[in-house]
Amino acid sequence: MKSTLSLTAILGIKNGELLENKHYFELMKMIFNEIERCLLLPNSQQYFENIVTVCKKTAHNQSSMLCDIEGKRPTEVDAILGYIL
């Protein structure tokens, strides 16, 4: 579920800021809930907890999509979100 990490590219932030900023965290949850409804995920809470764990473990990292945007390179957005779209 890397899709919420692309939120870091939109906001221009490091991964951990999704957890540190209450507004970003709420936005992340809203996006997850929308994706979860599209995919009909079983045990959706477990998936969300996994996303939080990834954000914690990579808190000081910039997502590859943000690096691509800053480097004016094509992003992997289609590969990440294409199935959902």
Can you give the residue range of the structural domain that contains 61? 2-81
Q: How many domains does the chain have?
A: 1
CA dihedral for 24, 29, 34, 35, sign (positive or negative): positive
CATH number at residue 18: 1.10.1040.10
Query: 7-40 pLDDT, tens per residue?
Result: 999 999 999 999 999 999 999 999 999 989 888 8
* DSSP notation for 22-72: HHHHHHHHHHHHHHHHHHT-TTHHHHHHHHHHHHHHTTTPPPHHHHHHHTT
Highest mean pLDDT range out of 25-34, 36-45, 71-80?
Answer: 25-34
Question: Can you tell me the distance from the alpha carbon of 76 to that of 85, in angstroms, rounded to the nearest whole number?
Answer: 14
Tell me how far apart the terminal alpha carbons of the chain are, to the nearest angstrom.
Answer: 14
Give the model's confidence band at 46: pLDDT under 50 very low, under 70 low, under 90 confident, else very high: very high
